[in-house]
Amino acid sequence: MRFGIAVILVFVLTFSVFAQQSDDWYQGKPIRRIVFDGLVHVDPMELEGITGPFISRTFSDDVYWDILGRLYALEYFESITPTAVRADLAGNEVLLRFAVVERPTVARINFTGNSGLRRTDLSDAISTKVNDVATQVKLRIDEQAIINLYLEKGYPDAKVRSEMQNTGRSSVNVVFYIDEGEKIAIESFHFEGNSVFPSRTLQRQLSLKVKGRIIGDGAFNEAKLIADRQTLTKYYHDRGYINAEVIDVVREIRRDDKNNNLMSITFKIFEGSQYTFGGVTFEGNHIFRDEQLSALIRSKIGEVVNISRIQADLMRVSDLYLENGYIFNQLEPVSVTDEDARVLSFRMNIVERGRAHIENIIVRGNKKTKESVILREIPLEPGDIFSRTKVMNGLRNLYNLEFFSDIFPETPAGSTEALMDLIINVEEQPTTDVRLGLTFSGSADPDAFPVSVMAGWNDRNFLGSGNSVGAEVNITFDTQSISALYTHRWMLGLPLTGNFDLTVHHMVRKAAMQNFAPYFYGNEPNAYPNGFDSYQEYEDAYKTPPDEYLMPYDQWRISLGVGTGYRWLTQYGNLGLGGGVRAGVTLNKFDNSLYLPFDPILREGNNTWTPATSFWGSLSLDQRDIYYDPSSGYYGVQRIGWYGILPLENEHYIRTDTKLEWFYTLFNLPVAENWNFKAVFGVHTGLSFIFAQPQYSTPRIEEASQLAVDGMFIGRGWANEYRRKGFALWENWAEIRIPLAPGILAWDFFFDAAGVKKTPAALFSDFLEDDGSLADTNTFFMRFSLGGGLRFTIPQFPFRFSVAKRFLFRDGEINWLSGGMGGSGLDFVVSFAMSTY
């Protein structure tokens, strides 16, 4: 009562603030913005949910009281003082400014009476945290959250009450008083009335479990018992027993010799008879013919009824109308049962109405991102016919921008019956990454120092424009680089991407040399460098000479890349066509008087700045749900590059890359409110070839640019294969990905298979033979590995830490190889958590 009187007094006082102004100029003017002064602990984003719907509405006393009433209902503020300010010089729009005084904040949270659950578990369950504004509403919610936690742990009689205690310093202590009651564990399950399915089969369907001797506390949970009752009924219905039901659940509790409460649960079941499916008929449909609707029914007449499958069939009929904009239609399935023949049929009564058109598309929650950036990703405009698929495609586009932590649409009715609004609510997340410190260089070259000092800055949503700007510096003992990049996602108002990057790169490298006989030009089939007496010896050493036969040289590269791409939305996914040009210069510098490189390309282009140009084109089809961490869908890309446009360049070759990926969610089980236990299966195959340009008989390419199994990204664990180069590479992986913290961390299991051939033709003519360091007609050329590890998906730390076990196929049998991690036989692998775009 006193709270209500206080609110009325505040209303009167605050209303007088408006009344005391010289005139009522703000009456009837649209509200442009609503801002707050005095916020300390209250999140402004939370207030937007209250004030957002009032933006652009016409100011009136009723609107004002509505806003103020909703703000006070939050219980965040002791007082709210409003002011109306002209939003423009002419006073055509109103800016509402609220000066607020927040309620006391939480200084400390205590729990009393808890012995069965730890304080940390209780703290994680509640939403109130230290420094939050203390409200009775949140405490009531937290009380129920604690009770729910106790119910999950087998305390069905738990009671909780909360109290706020003043500290005298504009803060309060929150105390939760807990009466746990007695814990109940499940001792056994029993089933009565079941003759079709054995008790053991039915018990496997339950989410509740019995108390185990070693693991499993068997905690009783009333909510799970209710769900299990429904699960058993569904199990019968999906196997044709449409009248089956759990008619009763009997619980018996006893105390064991340790004074523990143990419960036995008995499910009493009525099974009934098994029914077959009699089909679906349609009435009232004129837009779609019976044949079109019947084609969506995948259940076959005469087969045993599966209620879940039939419901999915009927949902496809409803989706057909929704997809074509008929969202106001009424579709009512009516079951028709033939008790004598034991046949279940359905009649779908359809009331058809006109298509729904979109009246307005409204964006809410965006602070940094410009509204136009969001709207251009939605393939709908006001006046278009509503399409659920297009809405879902738009949401997928927005998620893939990585600008938003959450996106949820609303579809309220429009101003007339045939119109509707589409509201896109977004919650923004940081898009600027500042990286400074030590990191792994990511180079698979064993000659490269693996750790670098790195400083980088990148904004994926520069000034809210949706464009990306970044710069990065990497420094190690033997490698230094600086690069800048810019990506413009939409040019000329079209889904046309433009990007450029400028890179300066320096590396101290090592190369094989031939300072003394025998001398090879480089194109001989069995050439070998100094340090070996034969080509076979060279192969057996993985084409890696001893350190004393390696010559050092400096490699400088300066390049500018410009690219573009266009995207089309098709029913099969996003179709992309791209291309680009890279122009630069390369300098390989070493002392001619001391060294003669074995690589002819390195030998001929020494100590001279040489142009290095290329152009490329690609065609891709992408139907993945989330590009950077997909759970479903497929991706395919074909890329071809022409390296060496000018005659005076050192390298002249053509490279093609073909990649295919597919992802599928194996299961997705809700475990906690904000986390699901989920597993995603993914497979990938890639085929790369290097060909000679028409004017040359063989590719002119430095050894460092040739294809290889690097052991880090391709054929994980096979780092010693990096020196074995070729012109054909076939690489594959299969993974099971289990997110531990969605968007941050996952545990992956992988199986890799990759191999290199000297020529593209050899990949097909000598597929079963190894032509490299393990040359043996009885050894398959592919390198295999399996393992698992952690994968970080956050932009600031995109690494994988894995262990791998390597093996070969020799003489038709698996040949396991030893690893570098002591007696474990495993290899430790660090790589980037790279995604394909």
* pLDDT value at residue 488: 94
* pLDDT value at residue 540: 76
* pLDDT value at residue 719: 83
Side-chain-side CA neighbours of residue 783 (13 Å) = 30
395-399, 639-643, 702-706: which has the highest mean pLDDT? 639-643
Could you list the beta-strand ranges (E) of 623-652. 633-643
What digits encode the pLDDT tens for the residues 350-391?
Answer: 999 888 999 999 999 898 999 999 999 999 999 999 988 889
Check if the beta carbon of residue 805 is closer than 8 Å to that of residue 786: yes
* pLDDT value at residue 774: 43
**Rounded distance, CA 581 to CA 498, Å?**
12
Residues 6+ apart with CB under 8 A from 63: 31, 54, 57
**Rounded distance, CA 113 to CA 177, Å?**
6
Residue 818 has pLDDT above 60, yes or no: yes
**Rounded distance, CA 646 to CA 613, Å?**
7
**CA geometry: angle at 805 spanning 802 and 811, to 5°?**
155
* Identity of the amino acid at 400: N
Rounded to two decimals, what is the model's pTM?
0.65
Binned at pLDDT 50, 70 and 90, residue 12 comes out as: very low
Check if the beta carbon of residue 76 is closer than 8 Å to that of residue 103: yes
Q: What is the mean pLDDT of the chain?
A: 87
**Rounded distance, CA 319 to CA 323, Å?**
6
**Rg of the chain taking only CA atoms, in angstroms:** 34
- From residue 710, how far is each of 429, 440, 444, 566, 687 by CA, in Å? 35, 15, 6, 32, 15
Check if the beta carbon of residue 212 is closer than 8 Å to that of residue 190: no
Query: Residue 827, SS3?
Result: strand
Domains assigned to the chain: 2-102 (3.10.20.310), 106-179 (3.10.20.310), 184-270 (3.10.20.310), 276-351 (3.10.20.310), 357-428 (3.10.20.310), 623-837 (no CATH)
Binned at pLDDT 50, 70 and 90, residue 154 comes out as: confident
Diameter of the chain measured on Cα atoms: 103
Residue 263 has pLDDT above 80, yes or no: yes
What digits encode the pLDDT tens for the residues 521-534?
Answer: 766 878 899 999 99
Instruction: Dig out the tokens for 220 from the structure.
Output: 């009783």
Binned at pLDDT 50, 70 and 90, residue 837 comes out as: very low
Per DSSP, 356 falls in state P
Percent of the chain's residues with pLDDT above 90: 50
* Over residues 437-453, mean pLDDT: 51
Count other Cβ atoms within 10 Å, centred on residue 594: 10
Check if the beta carbon of residue 326 is closer than 8 Å to that of residue 356: yes
* pLDDT value at residue 796: 58
**pLDDT, greater one: 626 or 147:** 147
Binned at pLDDT 50, 70 and 90, residue 608 comes out as: confident
Query: Residue 748, SS3?
Result: strand
* Identity of the amino acid at 526: N
Per DSSP, 513 falls in state B
**Rounded distance, CA 147 to CA 162, Å?**
12
Instruction: Identify the bridge partners of residue 674 per DSSP, sorted by sequence position.
Output: none
* Identity of the amino acid at 198: P
* pLDDT value at residue 743: 73
Instruction: Dig out the tokens for 259 from the structure.
Output: 């004074």
Residue 790 has pLDDT above 60, yes or no: yes
Phi, psi for 289 (deg, rounded to 5): -70, 160
What digits encode the pLDDT tens for the residues 483-511?
Answer: 999 999 999 889 999 999 999 999 888 88
- From residue 447, how far is each of 233, 703, 734 by CA, in Å? 64, 14, 29
**pLDDT, greater one: 240 or 781:** 240
**pLDDT, greater one: 322 or 436:** 322
* SS3 readout for 40-84: CCCCHHHHHHHHHHHCCCECCHHHHHHHHHHHHHCCCEEEEEEEE
The DSSP code sequence of 198-252 is -HHHHHTT-S--PPPSSS---B--HHHHHHHHHHHHHHHHTTT-TT-EEEEEEEE
Instruction: Dig out the tokens for 738 from the structure.
Output: 């289990």
Beta strand pairing call for 573-589 and 550-570:
antiparallel
* pLDDT value at residue 1: 43
What digits encode the pLDDT tens for the residues 60-116?
Answer: 888 888 898 888 888 888 889 988 888 887 778 899 999 998 888 899 999 999 988
Phi, psi for 732 (deg, rounded to 5): -140, 155
* pLDDT value at residue 345: 96
What digits encode the pLDDT tens for the residues 331-357?
Answer: 999 999 999 999 999 999 999 988 899
Residue 520 has pLDDT above 50, yes or no: yes
* Over residues 447-454, mean pLDDT: 58
Check if the beta carbon of residue 422 is closer than 8 Å to that of residue 362: yes
Residue 443 has pLDDT above 80, yes or no: no
* Identity of the amino acid at 122: L
* pLDDT value at residue 303: 96
* Over residues 42-62, mean pLDDT: 84
Binned at pLDDT 50, 70 and 90, residue 236 comes out as: very high
* Identity of the amino acid at 153: K
Residue 611 has pLDDT above 70, yes or no: yes
* Over residues 396-424, mean pLDDT: 89
Instruction: Dig out the tokens for 801 from the structure.
Output: 């830490």
* pLDDT value at residue 288: 94
Residue 5 has pLDDT above 50, yes or no: no
* Over residues 442-451, mean pLDDT: 49
* Over residues 713-738, mean pLDDT: 90
Check if the beta carbon of residue 343 is closer than 8 Å to that of residue 405: no
